Structure 1
Amino acid sequence: MEIQNGKTKLLGTSCNLRTIGYKYQSQHNLFQENDVGQLASITITKKRSDTVLKLSYSSSIRTQGALAATRWYFQIDGQECRKPTPIDIGMWQETADNTHVPAVLTGICESIAESGAALAAGQHTVTVRIGQMLSIHVADAISGWHTASILEVQEMCPQY
């Protein structure tokens, strides 16, 4: 890295360590009782092919049901991130308690392609989904119970 005009710059690239594009969506008092399916969606136009997407979703979540689990995860254009890793969180419930907890699902996605090719510039749809965790029984789930649910997508220069 080098400092150029007061900004940090990655050597060998024209990409500064900053956000290139940003989209934000917030919904309050969203009470979603989906156990499987889409919770939120946003479309972003990625300006460059040498950038990554930083994805964040925060909400109140609940999994209810004895010996059951729920998985919250991101998809881009209908596919999960492959590089560096899928972005997900899971919640296991051993008893039938009805506990709602705050949760933040966040991560970086470089590629959804099996080949690991960079996510191309252009329009992409980012969705937050809910569903089965491994081979565990799907729980009775709730997202966004009496709180704000926030979905953010940032196009950023890779920081490596």
Structure 2
Amino acid sequence: MGSMQVVFWALFVFHVCGSQKVKRQKETEFVDKYGTCLQGPPGNQGRDGNPGVNGIPGTPGIPGRDGLKGEKGECVSERFEDPWRPNFKQCAWNSLNYGIDLGKIADCTFTKLRSDSALRVLFSGSLRLKCRSACCQRWYFTFNGAECAGPLPIESIIYLDQGSPELNSTINIHRTSAVEGLCEGIPAGLVDVGIWVGTCADYPKGDASTGWNSVSRVIIEELPK
């Protein structure tokens, strides 16, 4: 080995050893200053851990403040049931001239829409009673063949007292009269409304006449209770 080679080798060894010495010195100064080792290269990313348990419920928050006062609303009356619709019917006859003393005179079929309503009925027509001795006749309504029970029958009577046989034999007065009333408790559906003539209690019948020489009518109207 020549002298130049010896010198080059010596410089190389000095450089390498010096560099290592300086590196170790800097590492020692870093550990002394920060109390930790130098960070190595990052490792592989770990897996996610198991979910944690629920934490302790927090304390209630502070109550909020009252909002601004709203505008005054409109007063509206609400009805949740169906509005009431008028429901009525009229049956009319020209000169019935019905001379029976006992039985049905006429009828009029009506469709009742509600069970909780009442029926107002009216018969208007000429009535007459004739007899030689005291007598009484009764005109009344039936509903599907039965008299009103809610609350009482709907009727009208004519009573003729005993007078002289001569006068009673000639009395024959026809007057337009009315039989009218309200009946409750009738179910909804078809209702056969009839007008009848019969006797009064404890009195004999006379010679009755209904609807002579004039118009007779039955008016039926359903009313809310």
**Same-fold call, TM > 0.5?**
yes
- Between the aligned partners of 2:213 and 2:120, the Cα distance in structure 1 is 26
1:97-153, Cα deviation, whole Å (9 max, x unpaired): 21111101000000xxxxxxx211111100000001112101100000111100111
- 2:89 counterpart letter in structure 1: K
Residue of structure 1 in register with 2:195 after alignment: 128
| 1:147 to 2:214 alignment | yes
Quick one: which of 86, 101, 107 aligns to 1:41? 107
Could you tell me which runs of 5 or more consecutive residues in structure 2 were left unpaired when the two chains were aligned. 1-75
| 1:25 to 2:91 alignment | yes
Could you tell me which runs of 5 or more consecutive residues in structure 1 were left unpaired when the two chains were aligned. 111-117
Q: TM-score, normalised on structure 1?
A: 0.82
The answer to whether the 8 A contact 1:15-1:157 is kept is no
Quick one: which of 126, 130, 149 aligns to 1:60? 126
- Between the aligned partners of 1:15 and 1:91, the Cα distance in structure 2 is 43
Q: TM-score, normalised on structure 2?
A: 0.59
> Relative to 1, partners in 2 of residues 1:77 and 1:105: Cα closer, same or farther, differing over 3 Å?
same
Larger Rg over CA atoms: 2
The answer to whether the 8 A contact 1:83-1:109 is kept is yes
- Between the aligned partners of 1:40 and 1:4, the Cα distance in structure 2 is 44
Quick one: which of 177, 196, 202 aligns to 1:103? 177
How far did residue 20 of structure 1 move? Answer: 3.4
| 1:89 to 2:156 alignment | yes
**Which one has a larger percent helix, Structure 1 or Structure 2?**
2
- 1:48 counterpart letter in structure 2: R
1:26-53, Cα deviation, whole Å (9 max, x unpaired): 1111100010011110111111111110
Quick one: which of 133, 138, 141 aligns to 1:71? 138
The answer to whether the 8 A contact 1:19-1:155 is kept is no
Tell me which of the two structures has the higher relative contact order, counting C-alpha pairs closer than 8 angstroms and 6 or more residues apart. Answer: 1
Residue of structure 2 in register with 1:113 after alignment: none
Q: Secondary structure at the match of 1:82?
A: coil
Runs of 4+ deviating beyond 2 Å: 13-16
**Which one has a larger percent strand, Structure 1 or Structure 2?**
1
- 2:157 counterpart letter in structure 1: G
- Between the aligned partners of 1:70 and 1:37, the Cα distance in structure 2 is 12
Number of residue-to-residue matches in the alignment: 142
